[in-house]
Amino acid sequence: MPSPDLETIRLQLLERVQTSETPRDILRAPEFKGLYSAIGALSPEEKGPYGKAVNELKQAVETAVEARIDELESSDVVALDVTAPWDANSTKPAFLPTNEGSQHPLTTEITTVIDIFTRMGFEAVESRQIDDDFHMFGSLNFPENHPARDGYDTFRTEEGFIPPAHTSTMQNRILQAGKEKLEAGGQIAAISYGRVFRNEDVDATHEHTFHQVEGVFVSKDATLGDMLGTLRSFFEVYYGQSLRIKTQPAYFPFVEPGLEFMIEKPAVLGGKDGEWLEMLGCGMVHPNVLKAAGIDPTAYRGFAWGMGVERLVMLKYGIEDLRHFESAKLNFLRKFA
C-alpha cells in the first residue's frame, strides 16, 4: 500500500490553519489522525522514514496553530459584554446625560419634609438600616412575645439583628441624647427619617422597602393640642393651603392615647367637601417609653408620630402604583427631572 502524500497533506493543513478561527480543531482532523494509522500498512523499511516525516509534519502544523492563536488573540476584536442591557445590533437606550441628572423623587420629597420640620425647630436624624430587638420593640413598650410584634412582618438576620420596620427605632436614642438638655430646662424635638423594611408581598400598594419619617417632642408641658397643631402646620405647608383635621382612636404600643390623624383632602388632589385622608399614626408618648430612655414620666411628657413618605408623594403627584419608586424606569423618573 503506497504511503500518503505527506507534502500535499502538510500544505493543505497549513492553509486551513491560516484561515481557521478555531485552529486547535485541525490537530484533531481525520486526515491528521490518519497519518499515524497508515504506519501499520507499511513495510519495515518504510516505517522509520515515514514516522519521522509524520512527526515533522505534526510539529510544523502545531507551530502554525500556536502562531494562528497568537494572531487571533492580538487582533482588534470587540469584546461582548454579556451583562449589557441591550445587544450590539439594537438601538442604545436614551439614558439621562450625567450632567443633566436629577434627584430621585423620594429624595426630593424627604428633603422637603425635613426642611419643613427643621424650620419648625426639629432636629433631623437619619435612621439606621440594621438594628436590634431592643430599639425595634423593647424600648417602644412591646412586651416579649406580645402579639403586636407579629403585626410588623419583621425581617431578621441569622444573628438576630433587624432591618428596622419603622423609623421609631431611633426614638430611644433621640430621647437619651436629649435628656441632658431636657433636664436643663429645654425640650427634645427631633425627626428621624430613612428606609424601613417589612416582609410584604409586593403589589400596587405594598412594598418590602419604603421610607418613613418619625417625629418626637418631649417637654415639661407638651400637650395633645401641641401635636395636632404641629401636624396640621406641616400638612398645610406641604400641600400649600389651609386644612381641616380630625382624629380617631387607634392602638400603638408606644403611645397613649393613640390616634389616627386625618386631613381634609386638599384641593390640589381634587378634594371635595367631606372627603378625608388618613395620613399617619400619632399620640402621646407612653410613660414606659420615657422610662426606657431614663426620663421621668411624672415630670415630662411628649408626643410622637410616624408617616410613610411614599404615601405623601403618591397623593401629591397622583401616582397609582407604589412599585414605580423602585422600578428605575426612566419614563417615570423623567417626570420629576
Which residues, 6+ apart, have CB-to-CB distance to 16 below 8 Å?
26, 29
Which residues, 6+ apart, have CB-to-CB distance to 329 below 8 Å?
none
Q: Shortest CA distance to 312 belongs to which of 104, 109, 103?
A: 109
Q: Among 21-35, 40-54, 178-192, name the most confident range.
A: 178-192
User: What value, to the nearest 5°, has the Cα angle with vertex 264 and ends 245 and 113?
Assistant: 75
Q: What is the mean pLDDT of the chain?
A: 84
Sign of CA dihedral 320, 324, 326, 332: negative
**What are the start-end ranges of the H helices in the chain?**
6-19, 30-37, 44-74, 105-119, 133-136, 171-183, 224-239, 287-292, 309-317, 324-327, 330-333
**What are the start-end ranges of the H helices in 75-130?**
105-119
Name the residue with higher pLDDT: 151 or 326. Answer: 326
- Quickly state the pLDDT bin for 225 (edges 50, 70, 90): very high
Domain positions in the chain are 6-74, 102-336
Grid cell 502524500 is found at 5
Summarize pLDDT for 259-285 with one digit per residue, the tens: 999 999 888 777 777 789 999 999 999
Amino acid, res. 5: D
Q: In this structure, what DSSP letter does residue 39 have? A: G
Average of pLDDT values for 234-240?
Answer: 92
In total, the chain counts a number of residues equal to 337
Q: Tell me how far apart the alpha carbons of residues 333 and 3 are, in angstroms, rounded to a whole number.
A: 76
Tell me which architecture the domain covering 102-336 has in CATH.
2-Layer Sandwich (3.30)
Summarize pLDDT for 115-146 with one digit per residue, the tens: 999 999 999 999 988 888 888 888 988 877 76
Q: Tell me how far apart the alpha carbons of residues 217 and 305 are, in angstroms, rounded to a whole number.
A: 9
Sign of CA dihedral 250, 255, 256, 262: negative
Write out the three cell numbers for 23.
485552529
pTM: 0.67
- Quickly state the pLDDT bin for 29 (edges 50, 70, 90): confident
Q: In this structure, what DSSP letter does residue 203 have? A: B
52 phi, psi to nearest 5 deg: -65, -40
Which residues, 6+ apart, have CB-to-CB distance to 290 below 8 Å?
175, 218, 296, 297, 300, 301, 302
Check: CB of residue 174 under 8 Å from CB of residue 302.
Answer: no
Q: Which has the minimum average pLDDT: 78-92, 107-121, 149-163? A: 78-92
